[in-house]
Structure 1
Amino acid sequence: MIVKSWFTAKLRADILEKKLKKLSGKDKYPGKICIVVAEQSVVRACRALDRANQLADLVELRLDYLSRPKLAELRPRVKKPLIVTNRLSQEGGKFKGNEEERIGFLKSALELKASFIDVELASPPQYVDELLRNRNRVKIILSFHNFKKTSSFKELQSLLDQMIELHADVAKIVTLARSWLDNLTILNLILYARARNQKIVAFCLGEKGKISRLLSPLMGSEWTYVAWADNKKVAPGQWSLRELQEIWRRLI
């Protein structure tokens, strides 16, 4: 009860702060929006990137969706901070090649100076270490995705601690919500990360997890992911940009 009461009070305080910012015209939305571009063809990806440049704070390019990833051709199209992802198949990825090839595209993203590279904590350690060593000014997102459940807070805390020990620039932890209470677990994890001075993106998947995608920026998550159109959603429970903007307008 104490944790829930504190959580409610903290959430109300953050919402009030965001309301005041909006009224003063300093903050249009209560968090950064990352538009996910997941297209099979380069032509469609270019069209989506052009749209995302106009509307997003950040853009995530999912290389694993492209039938022929051509990052060198697509990189100049992105005018906003770019996250390059080539998702591991066990965590929802579509890439058909082997692990060396998959990581090779992320190495190319280093050379092309993407803003962020998302690599799964479950990737072979030697590849994770190599990306971390050679990051230079590119920021590394160490990520974890569980499409089956939300583990206990203690287990997720342990995962986050591993990411902190590896010096992740951003930790990303995403889990499936089987109950509404799973959202509280994830939102409390954000507060734990903030107390450790660790940047984090965390939310729940699925219908029961949709609320966490709305609330996580208010609790300190770096950004929230949206589809650039209603028919372009790539994860369970994902909002489109239009849906998210409409809900935030009503809440704030």
Structure 2
Amino acid sequence: MIRPTICVTLSGCSVGGMLADAARATAVGADLCEVRLDKLWVTEKKPDPVEINPVSTNGRRSRPAYVPPEYIPKSLDSVDLAASLAAFKGGIDLPVVMTCRPVRQGGYFPGTEEQRIAVLRNAIESEVSWVDLEADIDADVRADLMSLAKGKTSVISSVHFSEEPDSSGEIIQDIEELEGTGEILKVCYATSGRNSALKLFEAAWMMKESESKISIMGLGPCGDWTRIHAPLLGQDIVYSTMETGSHLSSQGKINASDLLIAWEMLEYN
């Protein structure tokens, strides 16, 4: 059973924070790091502490509810992109995936689409190992980026859906529509529990013999099923995090160290 590539999406909203997270990812045995360039244009505001009753009515110690941070946009000129790209190139030992996610697909980049494309073009010109190009980028613009990347930067073709899939067949159709748009085809859906997660699992199982390199994932409760069972499902790349906490499971995410432990326990290694 072939072990999928583990890609750690770096936490933080600054170059320094991401570089520190990259060092941790390298130490635990990750294969790739994803740099979310769009998050350089936001400031993370953590919620104020919430007072809780340490003991619930049944006598058990209760945990505080997880409250996600707020991301406050910054001006476009607040980021020195050239210096940031140089710092990532010199400061991360692992191969890197550069991503600049638009708001329409759950990202944070505050500028126009033309400005975002310029960021992606600069990332490719920095000769990064991988770049994530959304499948819904204007066809002519995307073809230009693909041409620029050819021979030096591999492409992950991605789609992020804000809704749950109707069926496993819909997921397979979405993947088939991505054929030829990148070296790896990545689809991500919202999940709300076992029902939607099973659709992802079934689609991944049905596609495991495909010649295409595929990553099927969910964000939300049970969205981590295809990540945990990626070796069984023939997934080529699995996204993980260096974050820790019980909230990760409800978000469909998994810590990279926990992922490796799970694979060992399930004898996937």
Range into which the TM-score falls when normalised by the shorter chain: 0.7 to 0.9
Asked whether the 8 Å contact 2:223–2:253 carries over to 1, the reply is no
- SS of the equivalent of 2:223 reads helix
Asked whether the 8 Å contact 2:200–2:216 carries over to 1, the reply is yes
By percentage of residues, which structure has more helix? 1
Aligned to 1:108: 122
- SS of the equivalent of 1:200 reads strand
Aligned to 1:5: none
| Bigger Rg over Cα | 2
Query: How far off its partner does 1:168 sit?
Result: 1.7
Alignment partner of 1:89 is 2:103: yes
Identity of counterpart residues, as a percentage?
Answer: 25
Q: Aligned partners of 1:82, 1:96: CA distance in 2, in Å? A: 23
User: What amino acid maps onto 1:230 in structure 2?
Assistant: T
Equivalenced residue count is 224
Q: Aligned partners of 1:82, 1:237: CA distance in 2, in Å? A: 22
Return 5+ residue gaps in structure 2 as ranges. Answer: 42-78
Asked whether the 8 Å contact 1:150–1:178 carries over to 2, the reply is no
Q: Aligned partners of 1:31, 1:247: CA distance in 2, in Å? A: 13
Normalised by the length of structure 1, the TM-score is 0.79
1:46-195 aligned within 5 A: 46-55=19-28, 56-67=30-41, 68=79, 69=81, 70-137=84-151, 138-164=153-179, 166-195=180-209
Query: How far off its partner does 1:192 sit?
Result: 4.9
Asked whether the 8 Å contact 1:71–1:109 carries over to 2, the reply is yes
**RMSD (Å) for aligned C-alpha atoms:** 2.5
Query: How far off its partner does 1:163 sit?
Result: 1.2
Asked whether the 8 Å contact 1:186–1:203 carries over to 2, the reply is yes
Q: Aligned partners of 1:241, 1:179: CA distance in 2, in Å? A: 22
User: What amino acid maps onto 1:90 in structure 2?
Assistant: R
| Bigger relative contact order (CA 8 A; separation at least 6) | 2
Asked whether the 8 Å contact 1:38–1:63 carries over to 2, the reply is no
* Structure 2 residue corresponding to 1:215, chosen from 221, 224, 229: 229
Query: How far off its partner does 1:202 sit?
Result: 0.9
User: What amino acid maps onto 2:34 in structure 1?
Assistant: E
Greater CA deviation, 180-189 or 214-223?
A: 180-189
Asked whether the 8 Å contact 1:38–1:65 carries over to 2, the reply is no
